[in-house]
Amino acid sequence: MKIKKLSVLIPVYNERATIEEIIRRVRLVNLDNEKEIIVIDDSSTDGTRDILEKMVKEDASLIVLFHEKNRGKGAAIKTGIVQITGDYTVIQDADLEYDPEDYHKLIAPVQKDKAVVVYGSRFTGEHRNMFFWHLLGNRFLSLMTNILYNTTISDMETCYKLFQSDIIKSINIKSNRFDFEPEITAKILKDGVRIYEVPVSYAGREFSEGKKITWKDGFAACWALIRYRFCD
């Protein structure tokens, strides 16, 4: 299967230092298909919005949507999904932890008719070492996913997720914050879709560099995995 058009969703909140660079890198990825970039600013307060407003004036092909109130990553993704026109969609965080050049790796299984959902695993490719407790938390959440949904995924919490657009559009996403990741994974697996994993590079940030997810989000993810296993 050849991907005709790739929609890139970029949820962003207070990423003034990186937003221009990540959009530049996404634009530079040389793919054999059309590409649209949809940025959803979740009511940034650090000047990110001003940068995006300027970028839109300079490039009409860039789609930027603004939340007037901070609602969370999941809410930003839901806003973006409504706008996608590509036959496949990838989620791209606005920081520089994930390398857009890895789109080639994500797309390859689709083009070989091996998958319709592909996750980029941080634990099977080259990566900057993360804190031990972050690693342990991610491993535990993936283990929970495997036990509850009878799968063997290595990185449920990865932010690099590629979907056939019809699939992500068909899912009723309820989560507004970081629990989007376990919810979308749970609902895809419950629908009988097998997730294909590929290794991607990862350069994780520290909290001093702007990292936002905390241990509290880990508890929310655990609850989401259990909740969506037994409820819709």
Structure confidence by residue, pLDDT tens digits, 8-52:
999 999 999 999 999 999 999 999 889 999 999 999 999 999 999
Measured CA to CA in angstroms, residue 156 lies from 98, 106, 161 at distances of 15, 15, 10
Give pTM, 2 decimals: 0.89
List of domains in the chain: 5-230 (3.90.550.10)
Element (H, E) at 34: strand 34-41
Identity of residue 196: Y
Q: How far apart are CA 60 and CA 53, in angstroms?
A: 11
Neighbours of 114 (CB within 10 A): 12
Q: Residue 181's pLDDT band (boundaries 50, 70, 90)?
A: very high
Q: How far apart are CA 226 and CA 92, in angstroms?
A: 26
Strand intervals (E) in 88-231: 88-91, 117-121, 161-164, 196-199
Neighbours of 182 (CB within 10 A): 26
The two beta strands, 34-41 and 63-66, are parallel
User: Exposed, middle or buried by CB within 10 Å (0-12, 13-18, 19+), for 152?
Assistant: exposed
Segment 85-144, tens digit of pLDDT: 999 999 999 999 999 999 999 999 999 999 999 999 988 766 555 666 567 778 899 999
Q: Residue 232's pLDDT band (boundaries 50, 70, 90)?
A: confident
